[in-house]
Amino acid sequence: MRVRETPAMTNLTAQLPETSRRSVLRALAGLPLLPVAGIGAGELLFASGAEAASAKGAPVAVEFVGMAAPTAAAAQAKTTVESSMVVTWADGSKQSFALGYQPLFITGDMVPDGKGGTILAGGYVDINGKPILDGSLATPTQFFSDCPDGCNMLAPVPGAKVAGVAGNTLFAVVQFEYTTRDSKDASMYGKLPSPIAVLTLDQNKETGALKLVQYHNVDTSGVHGLWITCGASLSPWNTHLSSEEYEPDAAALDDQFRAYSKNLFGDETKANPYHYGHLPEVTVNPDGTGSIKKHYCMGRISHELVQVMPDERTVLMGDDATNGGLFMFIADKAKDLSAGTLYAAKMEQEAGKDIDKGGAFALKWVKLGHATSDEIKTLADTLKAADIVEVKKEDPKDPSFTAIGFSGKTQWVRFKPGMEKAAAFLETHRYAPTVGATLALTKLEGVTVNAKDKTAYMAVSYIYKSMSDGKSGIKVDAINAGAVYQLPMKGGQTDMAGTAIASEWVPVHFSPVPALVGRDLATPDALGNTADADRIANPDNLKFSEKLRTLFIGEDSGNHVNNFLWAYNADTKQLSRILSCPAGAESTGLQAVDDVNGFSYIMSNFQHPGDWEKGLHDKVKDSVAGLIDDAYRNRRSGGVGYIHGLPQPV
């Protein structure tokens, strides 16, 4: 997109040789830079050259200046960025820098494969690597996703070398959650195996701008394919931690799962539901290829994404479900998720406190069990649901069964003797409430950590159903627009049995961030929004920048006409809208990258543009739909890109 220059931008430092300019930038300001396509780093940073920068002193504060929600059809139909960042210098002066958005590709593009040819971005393949075709067309063509989601730029990989890179070699991993529909508009949700790709990016050494030079599909056949990969995070050891959400119900296989099996294996009975709902981890090789493994010992839940704490052992997990829970995994060894202990939280509501604002809860932890990935995979390979649990959908009038909430409905379950470990790790949603954990949350999605304050943040996209009906141990007033919760963490904790928990990063409380609670509207506004457009609605993706002291929040809202990306300063409590997605599209693929070769990035994708919701989009659809159809292949493409334009403080 076009970069908007401010009057403060000059080209004085661009007159220096590159080595001198970079030295001036880093020595005087100490600022990694957000990249700007087509503008030199020195041109962007200083208003009046090195001497003026020296006089300003060091940067002492930054703030985002937000943008208004778009009201014109042209802006509502695309990714719109009209926000900025203001740097305050030691001498008290301020300098403003404009933000912009740079796409890398949209799905359905033919992109370079690194072998002299091209490959379909977001394209689906079966277990043998053959294209999966959309048979609804007269001439079938390969399916591709409209839903790019979790995207992580890696730290530089030692020895990285890929043909075609002229600057610095960087890698990113992007996963594709699902495809919304076939060419006849029949739903394809969850019926195709999720692709995941390694992107080789050429980082311009002077400007930081990124260019895609190679797209590599990771072979997922060794892990039985991937199921609905949603959010993702970067591990402290530089791997991509993926997700598989809405785990298939092994006790009641449905048409969706049979279609998935048919598309993946060519046989609707071959896929094993216990192979899905786990945590995949991708390792990138120096040549831009990648390998993948699944960790079976972290609970089989609706993994939205996970966040590894600074100890490199403790992991908090999103659980994007109705009757979801707070889950924590503590690995036996740092940087190794192949063995550890799984916990689920018992939430003790503070009576009468802020029940209209999301409530407040003390957290206790129930140990579900210890396992290795290999032993749980063996159980997954060999067991059926009937070997582990009996499930009744009507009250059996038998006290040996336990009533639980499961996906918003009541079920009665009884586990087979000796199957406790299999139940804990393969039927986690059913087992956890029978041993004292609280499974009452709704759509617990993004997870991130503010390490300095020892606080985690979790997005509850919608506060309703099992959180407001009082059936599962908690009860708060419904807030359809959701909220972001904060979880202070401490060491020296014990589980419900009194056994020490071997971590200094154990959440002890769960309550909303006051500024990050959505506000439902009694009647829609002029555009059709059913939640206040100047507050967050239905938070989903979360990432925290330690250097910016900023929490970034991406929306997946059924209450905002356009979904937004927000910046919330943890110190000033200021909330600023910094990006607007195309109408109907979800803000995904969020990552805050503080410093890669002296540049910083905010990765930001969008998925399913033009996903029209009756009522919400009625006032804008007629003027916006044609523009979205033209830009995004009749609503069949999503976008992968990043925000550029400003400095960040060290």
Is residue 363 packed enough to be buried (19+ CB in 10 Å), middle (13-18) or exposed (0-12)?
A: buried
What mean pLDDT is predicted for residues 567-579?
A: 97
Neighbours of 613 (CB within 10 A): 15
Residue 167: the pLDDT is 97
- The pair of three-digit structure tokens given for residue 246, joined into one six-digit string: 């809405």
What pLDDT band is residue 33 in, cutting at 50, 70 and 90? low
What mean pLDDT is predicted for residues 283-287?
A: 98
Residue 5 above 60 pLDDT? no
Pair type for strands 483-490 and 455-460 = antiparallel
Residue 3 above 50 pLDDT? no
pLDDT tens digits, 410-455: 999 999 999 999 999 999 999 999 999 999 999 999 999 999 999 9
CB 506 within 8 A of CB 365: yes
What mean pLDDT is predicted for residues 546-563?
A: 96
Residue 479 above 50 pLDDT? yes
Residue 40 above 60 pLDDT? no
Neighbours of 581 (CB within 10 A): 30
Distance CA 242, CA 126 (A): 19
Residue 169 above 70 pLDDT? yes
The mean of the pLDDT values for the chain is 91
Residue 438: the pLDDT is 98
What pLDDT band is residue 34 in, cutting at 50, 70 and 90? low
Residue 36 above 70 pLDDT? no
What pLDDT band is residue 42 in, cutting at 50, 70 and 90? very low
Rounded to the nearest 10°, the torsion over CA 383, 384, 390, 394 is 160
Query: Measured in whole angstroms, how far is the alpha carbon of residue 343 from the centre of its chain?
Result: 22
Residue 578: the pLDDT is 98
CB 173 within 8 A of CB 290: yes
pLDDT tens digits, 89-147: 889 999 888 999 999 999 999 999 999 999 999 999 999 999 999 999 999 999 999 99
The shares of helix, strand and coil residues in the chain, as percent rounded to the nearest 5, are: 15, 40, 50
pLDDT tens digits, 324-383: 999 999 999 999 999 999 999 999 999 988 999 999 999 999 999 999 999 999 999 999
What pLDDT band is residue 35 in, cutting at 50, 70 and 90? low
